[in-house]
Amino acid sequence: DSGSLDQVARILNRGLSPSDIAHLLESTPPKERSILWRLVDKDLEGEILQYLSDEVRTDFLSKLNPQELVSITEDFETDDLADVLQQLPEKVIQEVLDSMDSQDRHRIEAVLSYAEDTAGGLMNTDTITIRPDISIDVVLRYLRRHRSLPDMTDKLIVVNRKDEFIGTLPITTMLVASPSSTVREVMNTDAVTISVNTPDTEVANLFERRDLVSAPVLSSEGRLLGRVTIDDVVDVIRDDADHSLMSMAGLDEDDDTFTPIIKTAKRRAVWLGINLITAFIASAVIGLFEATIEKVVALAVLMPIVASMGGIAGSQALTLVIRSMAVGQISRNNLGWLLNREFIVGIINGTLWALVVAGAAIVWFNDLMIGVIIALALMINLIVAAVAGTMLPVILRARDIDPALAGGVILTTITDVVGFLSFLGLATIVYA
Amino acid sequence: DSGSLDQVARILNRGLSPSDIAHLLESTPPKERSILWRLVDKDLEGEILQYLSDEVRTDFLSKLNPQELVSITEDFETDDLADVLQQLPEKVIQEVLDSMDSQDRHRIEAVLSYAEDTAGGLMNTDTITIRPDISIDVVLRYLRRHRSLPDMTDKLIVVNRKDEFIGTLPITTMLVASPSSTVREVMNTDAVTISVNTPDTEVANLFERRDLVSAPVLSSEGRLLGRVTIDDVVDVIRDDADHSLMSMAGLDEDDDTFTPIIKTAKRRAVWLGINLITAFIASAVIGLFEATIEKVVALAVLMPIVASMGGIAGSQALTLVIRSMAVGQISRNNLGWLLNREFIVGIINGTLWALVVAGAAIVWFNDLMIGVIIALALMINLIVAAVAGTMLPVILRARDIDPALAGGVILTTITDVVGFLSFLGLATIVYA
C-alpha cells in the first residue's frame, strides 16, 4: 500500500547517499527497480545517475524526453554528461546540446569530440589554473574568492597566457610554502601530464604507478584541455580488470546483473552458438575414428581426459598472458623467455601426468598399449596447449581481436582437436 | 661488458621513476632481473620495493640480512613496512623491530596487530590532526610549520584532546573558508569513517562509491588510529578484480609473471591434478555405458557436445554471480529472482540449441532417435548448468570456500557427469 511506499521513499531519500541508492538500484531486479526509481526525489536523480553502470543508466534515460534529460543532467560533470550523451540517439544528443547555454555546449562538444576510451573522453574541464609569476599569498586569496573548489583538487595547474601548460602546484606544496614566494619558485615542472589521445587503460596504468589523484590533459600543442581524476580512473581500472573475467565467459562487463529474461537469453544464445561450432569440430574429429572406437570402446571412455587436461593447461597459460598483457608486462623482449618456460613446463607436467594417467588406464583396462597411447597423446596435447595458450593472446592482439573474448574459444578448439586427433590417431595406428 | 652495463645503470637510475623501475623489474625474466636489481642505486631500492608485487619483493628481500633490511625500509610508510614484515620469518621481524627507535616500533607494531586484509592492515599513521576550536588562519600557519605534508592529504582530521574523532576538514573547504572562522564552523561532521576491522574489499567498495581520496580509520571506541589512502585502495581493487580471473584458472593474482620453470611447474601440477580427478569422474560415468557405446558408436562422437555446452552455459552463470558477489550486488532478497531467470534462460536456450543439435545429429547419422536423445540430454544439462552455476558460488561462499577457485572445477564435474549420464543413460534405455 501507499503508506509503506511512503516510508520506503523516506528511508531511500533521507537515509542513503546517492551512490548508495545507485548501488541499491543495481542490486534490484527490473520490476522493483522501476518502483524504487519512481520513489527517488527528483533532485537526487541526476547525482544517482552518475553512479549507475552504463546499461542501467541508459535504461532509465531512454524513458525520458529531451526536456527531462536536460534538467536531470544539469549538474553533471562534463565527462559524465559526455558519457551519457554518447549512449543516446543522435537526434536526442542534438536536442540536449541545443538547450544548453553556449559555454556549456562548447565544453561538452569538446569532450564529445574525443573517443570515450581516451584521456579526452575521461577528462573534466573544471581545472583551476594560475599564472607562474604571482605569489602564494595571492593564490590563496584567489582561491578564497571561489564558493567551492572542484572535488579531487590536489593540485593547481600553472599555465601561461596562451593556456600552455608550464607546471603544477600541488596543494600540499602550496600549504607549506612561504606566502611571499612565487608560484614559479615552488611549482613542479616535472609533473606527469597526459596527452589527450592516450588510451584510458594507459592513463589507468599511469595513475596506478605514480599514485596520482589528478593529472592535467594536454593537446598535442601542449595546451591545457582539462584534467583526469582518480575517481574516474578507478572505474577504468575496475572495468578493465572485470573485462578479462567477463569476456572469457562471453559476458560484457557493462551488463546489468539483473538484465531481464529475454535479453539475457538472446545474449547467452550467441555465445552458446559460437561454442557449439567448437563442439561440432571436436565431434567431427572423433567421427573420423568411429571404426577404431567400435573396436576398442575404452578409447571413448578415456578420450575426454586428454582433451580436458589440454584445455586446463592451455587456459592457465592463456589467462596468465592475458593478465600480464593488460598490465603491460609483455613485450617482444620477454615473450621468448615466457614461451620457452611454458614449453618446458608443458613437457614437465605432460610427462608427470602422462605417467599417472597411463598407470591408471593400464590398471583399469588391463591393456599396456592403451597406457602408452594415452601417455603420448597427453604429452603432445599439454605441450601444444602451453604454446597455444601463450601465443594466442599475442597473435590475436596483433590482429586487434580481443584475446579475452576470442582466446578461450579458439584455445578449446585447438586442445580438443589435438587431444582427440593424437589419442585416437595413435590408437588407430596401433589397433587398426 | 661493464661499459655498457654502466650505461644501462645510468639510464635506469636517472631516466626512470622508481615506479617505472619496479614495472621494468616485474617485466623481466629472473636472470636479467637480478642483474638489473644490482645496477639500481642503493638509495632508490627502498622506494622501488614499495611498488613491487608481493612475490617479486619477497624474493629480493629474502636475500638481505636484517641490517640491510632495516636500512632499506627506513623510509617506508607504516603500511608498506607492515606488509613487507608480514612476509618475513618471525625471527627477522623481531630483529628489524629491535633495531628501530621506540616511536617507530610502536607505530609498526600497532599496524602489525591488524590482519593484512583489513582497514587496520591497510592504514598509514601519517595523519595530520587539528583541534576544532582554532581558526582557519591558525591551521594554515600550523601547516606551514611542516617541511612537507604527507601524500594524498586531501583532508585534515579534527580530534579532541583524547584523540577521539570529531570530523574532517577537507583542504578544498579550508581554502575557500574565511581565515577567521573556526574549524568547528566549517568542518564536515558527516564524513565517511572506517572501522579498523573493516575488510579491505569493503573499504574498496566504500572508496569507489563515495569517490574518496582518503578516509580516517577509527578504533571501536571512536579513537583515531590512522587513515587509508586511495593509492593503497587502488591496489586492493586491482587485486580483487584480478583474483577472480586468476583463481578461475587456478592461478594466484600475487604470482610473478616470470616465476622460474620449476616453481611454475609445481604450482601448475597441483591444479592439473585437481582437474584430473574431475576428468576421471567423467570417464567413470562413460565407463558405465561401454556396452551401449559399442552398439552405437555415434554416441561417442556426439557426447562431448552435451558436456561442453553444459560447461559453457554453467560458466556464464557462475562468472556473472561471482562478479556480482564481489561488488556486493547479491543478497538473499534478489537471489531468488536471479535463480528463476537463469532457470528460464536455461530452458529457452536449452530448447533452442537442442533443436539445432538434434537436427544436425539426425542428418549426420540418419537416425531420428539419436536426435531425440541428444535434444533431451542437452536440455537437462543446460538447465542443471544454469542452476548449479548460480547456486554454487553462494553455497561455497557460505562455507568460506573461494567460489572463484573451487567453483569452476565443481561446476565442470557436475556438467560432465550430468551431460554424459543423461545422454548415455537415455541412449541405453532406447538402444539396449
Per residue in A299-342, pLDDT (tens digit) is 999 999 999 999 999 999 999 999 999 888 998 889 999 999 99
Query: How many residues appear in chain A?
Result: 432
Cell numbers given for A379: 604429452
Of B248, B272, B287, the CB nearest to A301: B287
A161: Cβ contacts below 8 Å, ≥ 6 apart? A131
**Do the beta carbons of residue B223 and residue B163 sit within 8 Å?**
yes
> What CATH number has the domain spanning B129-246?
3.10.580.10
Chain A environment of B338 (Cβ under 8 Å): 29, 257-258
A403: Cβ contacts below 8 Å, ≥ 6 apart? A318, A321, A322, A325, A392, A393, A396, A397
Chain A environment of B179 (Cβ under 8 Å): 144
3-state secondary structure (DSSP) of residue A406: helix
- Please give the average per-residue pLDDT across B419-432, as a whole number: 95
Cell numbers given for A44: 537526487
DSSP assignment of A190-238 equals T---EETT-BHHHHHHHHHHHT-SEEEEE-TTSBEEEEEEHHHHHHHHH
- Please give the average per-residue pLDDT across B71-76, as a whole number: 78
B83, pLDDT greater than 80: no
Distance CA B349, CA A273 (A): 10
| Residue of chain A with shortest Cα separation from B346 | A265
Beta strand B224-229 with B214-218: parallel, antiparallel or unpaired?
Answer: antiparallel
**Do the beta carbons of residue B201 and residue B235 sit within 8 Å?**
no
- CB contact under 8 Å between B293 and A290, yes or no, is no
- CB contact under 8 Å between B143 and A269, yes or no, is no
Question: Within 13 A of A88's CA, how many CA atoms are on the CB side?
Answer: 23
> For position A297, what pLDDT does the model report?
95
A256: Cβ contacts below 8 Å, ≥ 6 apart? A26, A53, A55, A56, A59
Distance CA B300, CA A292 (A): 11
**pLDDT grade for B2, boundaries at 50, 70 and 90:** low
> For position B107, what pLDDT does the model report?
77
**Do the beta carbons of residue A298 and residue A365 sit within 8 Å?**
yes
Of A151, A211, A245, the CB nearest to B231: A211
Closest by Cα among B281, B319, B246, B245 to B414: B281
> For position B261, what pLDDT does the model report?
94
Interface test with B, best of A48, A50, A263, A264 (most B CBs within 10 A): A264
**Do the beta carbons of residue A258 and residue A149 sit within 8 Å?**
no
- CB contact under 8 Å between B309 and A258, yes or no, is no
**Do the beta carbons of residue A320 and residue A404 sit within 8 Å?**
no
Distance CA B129, CA B77 (A): 18
- CB contact under 8 Å between B27 and A334, yes or no, is yes
Cell numbers given for B431: 538402444
Q: Which residue has the cell 541508492?
A: A21
Chain B environment of A22 (Cβ under 8 Å): 209
Cell numbers given for A307: 582433451
Task: Convert the pLDDT of each residue in A349-387 to its tens digit.
Answer: 999 999 999 999 999 999 999 999 999 999 999 999 999
Give the A:B interface size as CB pairs under 8 Å: 327
- CB contact under 8 Å between A261 and B341, yes or no, is yes
Residue B73 CB neighbours (<10 A): 21
Cell numbers given for B73: 625500509
3-state secondary structure (DSSP) of residue B130: strand
**Do the beta carbons of residue B426 and residue B377 sit within 8 Å?**
yes
Residue A268 CB neighbours (<10 A): 26
Of A280, A308, A319, the CB nearest to B246: A319
Tens-binned pLDDT, residue by residue, of chain A (432 aa): 667 888 888 888 888 888 889 999 999 999 999 999 989 988 888 889 888 888 898 888 888 877 788 788 777 777 778 877 877 778 878 888 887 777 778 878 877 888 888 999 899 888 999 999 999 999 999 999 999 999 899 999 999 999 999 999 999 999 999 999 999 999 999 999 999 999 999 999 899 888 999 999 999 999 999 999 999 999 898 888 888 899 999 998 888 899 999 999 999 999 999 999 999 999 999 999 999 999 999 999 999 999 999 999 999 999 999 999 988 899 888 999 999 999 999 999 999 999 999 999 999 999 999 999 999 999 999 999 999 999 999 999 999 999 999 999 999 999 999 999 999 999 999 987
Beta bridge partners of residue A255, listed in sequence order: none
- CB contact under 8 Å between A275 and B210, yes or no, is no
> For position B1, what pLDDT does the model report?
60
DSSP assignment of A26-85 equals HTS-HHHHHHHHHHS-HHHHHHHHHHS-HHHHHHHHTTS-HHHHHHHTTT--HHHHHHHH
- CB contact under 8 Å between B297 and A301, yes or no, is no
**pLDDT grade for B75, boundaries at 50, 70 and 90:** confident
- Please give the average per-residue pLDDT across B201-223, as a whole number: 93
Q: Domain ranges in chain B?
A: 2-117, 129-246, 261-431
A347: Cβ contacts below 8 Å, ≥ 6 apart? A379, A383
Interface test with A, best of B136, B232, B234, B281 (most A CBs within 10 A): B234
Distance CA A72, CA A84 (A): 11
Distance CA A243, CA A252 (A): 7
- CB contact under 8 Å between B294 and A297, yes or no, is yes
Chain B environment of A280 (Cβ under 8 Å): 305, 360
Phi, then psi, of B65 in degrees rounded to 5? -90, 165
> For position B126, what pLDDT does the model report?
85
In degrees, to the nearest 5, what angle opens at C-alpha A260 toward C-alphas A254 and A265? 85
Task: Convert the pLDDT of each residue in B277-315 to its tens digit.
Answer: 999 999 999 999 999 999 999 999 999 999 999 999 999
Of B175, B257, B287, the CB nearest to A329: B257
- CB contact under 8 Å between B258 and A338, yes or no, is yes
- Please give the average per-residue pLDDT across B423-428, as a whole number: 97
Any idea which fold A261-431 has? Tetracycline Repressor; domain 2 (1.10.357)
Distance CA A117, CA A201 (A): 8
- CB contact under 8 Å between A283 and B272, yes or no, is no
Distance CA A190, CA A167 (A): 7
Cell numbers given for A193: 601530464
Of B143, B338, B357, the CB nearest to A176: B143
- CB contact under 8 Å between B278 and A308, yes or no, is yes
Cell numbers given for A124: 573534466
Query: How distant is the Cα of A342 from the closest Cα of chain B, in angstroms?
Result: 8
Of A271, A341, A353, the CB nearest to B261: A341
**Do the beta carbons of residue A393 and residue A407 sit within 8 Å?**
yes
Interface test with A, best of B139, B143, B274, B283 (most A CBs within 10 A): B283
CATH architecture of A2-117: Alpha Horseshoe (1.25)
Longest dimension (CA), chain A: 95
Closest by Cα among B297, B198, B258 to B56: B258
| Residue of chain B with shortest Cα separation from A139 | B175
**Do the beta carbons of residue B38 and residue B28 sit within 8 Å?**
no
Distance CA B154, CA B149 (A): 10
Distance CA A352, CA A359 (A): 11
Q: Which residue has the cell 564524513?
A: B191
Domain A129-248 belongs in CATH node 3.40.50.300: no
Chain B environment of A146 (Cβ under 8 Å): 176
- CB contact under 8 Å between A208 and B348, yes or no, is no
Residue B93 CB neighbours (<10 A): 18
**pLDDT grade for B273, boundaries at 50, 70 and 90:** very high
Beta bridge partners of residue B168, listed in sequence order: B157, B188
- CB contact under 8 Å between B209 and A19, yes or no, is yes
> For position B344, what pLDDT does the model report?
97
H or E, element range at A270: helix A261-287
CA distances from B149 to A309, A362, B6, B155, B193 (A): 55, 71, 36, 11, 21
Of B27, B234, B348, the CB nearest to A208: B234
- CB contact under 8 Å between B175 and A144, yes or no, is yes
3-state secondary structure (DSSP) of residue B27: coil
Interface test with A, best of B232, B345, B383, B420 (most A CBs within 10 A): B345
